[in-house]
Amino acid sequence: MRPVLTPVFLGSLSRRRLTTAFSLIAVVLGVALGMAVQAVHTAALSEFSRGVRTVAGEADLRIVGPRNGFDETVYPLVAALPEVAAASPVVEVTTRVAGQEQALQIAGVDLFAAAGITPALLARPSAGSDRLSVLGEDRIFLSDAARVQLGAPPGSELSLRAGIHLVRVVVGGDIPAAAENSRLAIMDIAAVQRQFDRLTRLTRIDVRATNGVSLETAKRAVQAVLPTGVIVETPEVAENQAALLSRAYRVNLTMLAAMALLTGSFLVFSAQALSVVRRRSEFAFLRAIGLSRQRLLVWLLGEGAAIGLVGGVLGVALGYAVAWALLELFGGDLGAGYFAGLRPRLEFTPIASLTYGTLGILAGIAGAWWPAREAATVPPAQALKAGDDASIPVGHGHPRVGLVLLAVGIIACWLPPLGDLPVGGYAAIACLLGGGVLLLPVFAAALARRLPNALSVPARLAKARLEAVPGHAVIAAAGVLTSVALSVAMAIMVASFRDSVDAWLHQLLPADLYVRAGAVETGTTLDGETQARIASTPGVGTVSFTRHESLRLSPEHPPAALIARPLSMDGRELPVVDRAPPESDPSAVPIWISEAMKDLYGWRPGQRVELPIAGHAAPVRVAGVWRDYARQTGAVMINLTDYRRLSDDRLANDAAITLAPGHGAADVAARVAATAAPGTLQIAYPGEIRATSLRIFDRTFAVTYLLEAAAVAIGLAGVAASFAALAAARRKEFGMLRHLGVTRSQIAWMLAQEGALAAGAGVLGGLAVGGATGLVLIEVVNRQSFHWSMDLHVPWVSLTVFAGVLIALAALGAVVAGRAAMRQEAVLAVREDW
């Protein structure tokens, strides 16, 4: 029987090409997005881990400190411990070759110490050069990849940016064990310390524990000799931290993919539901000639599975293609900046591919489940007799279940994050969507009842239909609701976010000019002399310097940023969201923590805490909480004067300049630039910085815009697909109407209004659910995953236009889809039933 039945069932998919195509597209998109996010992330993370592992080599432990490193006297203390077999000091600087954009990470190593621990960090002099040249102060050793990228063969000279100076080095050879790391360069530790102004500083010590000493014992022994703010960790921790850093972003994207997949599943459902209705007599006949109920069920599920399978396979392929394109365009961080600079390679991961392919199939089967059961349970005799389509699933919905879901969703918003993930938020969104869909029939009927009665014939017909048989339209409307809800939620969230970021940038960038010594270079600072020169440049009114450091507060968390800049006692320069009551003790050093600090470390306004500054624990008081969109791992602001007193560090990274009255920004910028070697000081206008920041923001959300568009297209496709199926099922009805004297254009008009009504119900429901979902995204998902708050900003105009266009498109779609049915001769259509 199978060969006979194959065309009956699977063949039906090809007969309704349009609906099948839409379902397929939705599944493909869902699978592809999920696959792409997964593939990109796997590639980026494995590249990152590979980097960590090659560099870590055989190190059991590594000692790390704040961004600007720690004092080198830590090294002999650690190396002398009996628990330590070998210790390798490293001073790392990130710099650039003058005139090139590519960042170069220079590891200053003591090759003799590194040899036994981190073989990847060993340089090899090029053939014929002096053996001791690896120690040369002007020698740099490049990985093969970096050499190719910089076009710098052995023996060639490079000019490296070092603060406001340039350092001339000669390429002395390569790094055999790290040939593919395009960012890595090696110099002698003493050369880096001197040339990059890092004297007495180290950024890392790699440690190999003595044989027979447990890692825990060694770790405790090492930690005991470290100054505060310098910690010892296992190399794996860095990998974990990297994975954690991007996890929230990744999970959020994967959630979007899941939504797309859900939409696809729903489209399969709506198409199958209507198709099953249309084929009732067909099934009844098959049942009558001996097809068992189970076989029928399996065949109908097979239809869904077939769509899911094709969608899954195409989706996985498309996902890899998208991932490849994303890696080429944005690198490994999907534009979010977590893995900036890595050049990951796309890897085929069989398990993930299989998982996503299977998800596609499951989506298809899930969509087909209800209609299939419905069709299989109808007694053949009744189905053969009755030609009506009254018993479409969904019917009048399940308003009570819907209400319960909504209630559960609201409660879920108050759940704390689970493993740093906003699980409650996602649950709330799922509940809101589910509840919305289940309440939609009631809502649609109510909406139809509310419409005025004195309408044209087609309008009355459309209204009556929606009122009486909401089931049909609701299937189309539910698709619209889902996609509108997703789009609206994203639109509200992104608009609020963008608006808040814009306001935040305005508040943080009040000056007229910003000066910094290099964009990516770590060794680049403005020394006291340069600071003085900038301050005394004619046209410079006031200047405030900023120093960037970082804090290692615990081995579990990535370092938090420490920003020292001139601040008022009340922190009025900051976007403060919460402040402590005024402090009576004037000696308490105030700090302002970002919202992430509050979430990650549990610090509260008014609390007294200790900050590890320059190797000492400085007692400070949390004066308030400010909003920070730049540093997800936490940031602490401290007054520059306090920082300098605590750290004795007079350097600065940036300067914010307010112009003296009567001076033009361009003139002053030119004069400030002239205070240092040409090209070393970068001067930016706040407008530029804002524009760049927003451009980065938009790029980060590019993928979500894409998804919104896809969701809307899927929703519209759903309307068209539903009406195409519906119209086919309603040929008899149209024939009857024509018999009664209704013109074709009136039928078209009726269909248009039905489409608009159905879509309208979906759009209105979608706006409501989307608004609520947007709030959940802002207040729960963002708060919990990224630790930042934002002000609600609803883009009313865009949403109104969007809703209107969607309804109009739905109406058009309904007419276009129904045309085939209308074209039938009226008599023929009526006679078919007899």
Based on CB atoms, which residue is closest to another protein, 189 or 821? 189
Q: Which stretch binds another protein (CB under 8 A): 51-59, 188-196, 283-291, 655-663?
A: 188-196
Does residue 122 interact with another protein by CB under 8 A? yes
Q: Which stretch binds another protein (CB under 8 A): 59-67, 108-116, 321-329, 804-812?
A: 108-116
**Of residues 683-712, those binding another protein (CB under 8 A):** none
- Residue 138, Cβ density class (10 Å: 0-12 exposed, 13-18 middle, ≥19 buried): middle
Smallest separation (angstroms) from another protein to the CB of 69:
13
Smallest separation (angstroms) from another protein to the CB of 262:
56
Q: Which of 130, 610, 825, 833 binds another protein (CB under 8 A)?
A: 130
User: Which residues touch 703 (CB under 8 Å, ≥6 apart)?
Assistant: 253, 334, 335
Smallest separation (angstroms) from another protein to the CB of 79:
6
Phi–psi pair at 321, nearest 5 degrees: -60, -45
* Other CB atoms within 10 Å distance of the CB of residue 681: 22
Smallest separation (angstroms) from another protein to the CB of 193:
4
Does residue 85 interact with another protein by CB under 8 A? yes
Does residue 131 interact with another protein by CB under 8 A? yes
Residue 126 DSSP label: P
CA dist 16 to 29, 195, 205, 268, 274, Å?
20, 72, 66, 12, 11
Based on CB atoms, which residue is closest to another protein, 127 or 351? 127
Token pair, residue 771, equals 């608004």
Q: Which stretch binds another protein (CB under 8 A): 70-78, 217-225, 354-362, 644-652?
A: 70-78
CA dist 277 to 285, 292, 771, 824, 825, Å?
14, 19, 34, 20, 22
- Residue 744, Cβ density class (10 Å: 0-12 exposed, 13-18 middle, ≥19 buried): middle
Q: Which of 8, 52, 103, 111 binds another protein (CB under 8 A)?
A: 111
Amino acid at 363: A
Based on CB atoms, which residue is closest to another protein, 199 or 340? 199
Q: Which of 137, 388, 688, 791 binds another protein (CB under 8 A)?
A: 137
H-assigned helices in 279-379: 280-288, 293-330, 350-377
**Of residues 434-453, those binding another protein (CB under 8 A):** none
Q: At 388, is the secondary structure helix, strand, or coil?
A: coil
Smallest separation (angstroms) from another protein to the CB of 45:
30
Q: Report d(CA 241, CA 421) in Å as an integer.
A: 15
Smallest separation (angstroms) from another protein to the CB of 176:
8
Q: Report d(CA 369, CA 363) in Å as an integer.
A: 10
Half-sphere exposure of 701 (CA within 13 A, CB side): 18
Q: Which stretch binds another protein (CB under 8 A): 130-138, 146-154, 316-324, 375-383?
A: 130-138
Q: Which of 135, 655, 669, 747 binds another protein (CB under 8 A)?
A: 135
Q: Which stretch binds another protein (CB under 8 A): 69-77, 333-341, 476-484, 566-574?
A: 69-77
Does residue 112 interact with another protein by CB under 8 A? yes
Does residue 136 interact with another protein by CB under 8 A? yes
Count of residues of this chain found to bind another protein when the rule CB under 8 A is applied: 39
Q: Which stretch binds another protein (CB under 8 A): 115-123, 366-374, 613-621, 790-798?
A: 115-123
Beta bridge partners of 89: 205
Q: Which stretch binds another protein (CB under 8 A): 112-120, 666-674, 685-693, 748-756?
A: 112-120
789: nearest Cα among 775, 779, 777, 781: 779
Q: Report d(CA 810, CA 147) in Å as an integer.
A: 57
575: nearest Cα among 503, 623, 656: 503
Q: Which of 10, 116, 341, 403 binds another protein (CB under 8 A)?
A: 116
Q: Which stretch binds another protein (CB under 8 A): 182-190, 222-230, 738-746, 764-772?
A: 182-190
761: nearest Cα among 490, 488, 482: 482
490: nearest Cα among 810, 784, 769: 769
Q: Which of 41, 62, 96, 139 binds another protein (CB under 8 A)?
A: 139
Does residue 533 interact with another protein by CB under 8 A? no
Does residue 66 interact with another protein by CB under 8 A? no
**Of residues 189-248, those binding another protein (CB under 8 A):** 189-191, 193-194, 199-200
Q: Report d(CA 508, CA 577) in Å as an integer.
A: 14
Smallest separation (angstroms) from another protein to the CB of 52:
21
Based on CB atoms, which residue is closest to another protein, 118 or 753? 118
Based on CB atoms, which residue is closest to another protein, 84 or 318? 84
Q: Which of 7, 76, 528, 619 binds another protein (CB under 8 A)?
A: 76
User: Sign of the C-alpha dihedral, residues 213, 215, 220, 224?
Assistant: positive
User: Which residues touch 315 (CB under 8 Å, ≥6 apart)?
Assistant: 27, 28, 29, 30, 31, 32, 34, 35, 356, 357, 360
Q: Report d(CA 214, CA 35) in Å as an integer.
A: 41
Does residue 157 interact with another protein by CB under 8 A? no
Locus of tokens 């998109």? 29
Does residue 606 interact with another protein by CB under 8 A? no
Q: Which of 100, 133, 349, 607 binds another protein (CB under 8 A)?
A: 133
User: For residue 187, what is the enclosing H or E element?
Assistant: strand 184-188
CB 29 within 8 A of CB 710: yes
Smallest separation (angstroms) from another protein to the CB of 651:
17
Q: Which of 2, 3, 4, 132 binds another protein (CB under 8 A)?
A: 132
Smallest separation (angstroms) from another protein to the CB of 225:
14
Residues that bind another protein (CB under 8 A): 72-73, 75-76, 79-80, 85-86, 89, 110-113, 115-116, 119, 122, 124-125, 127-128, 130-139, 188-191, 193-194, 199-200
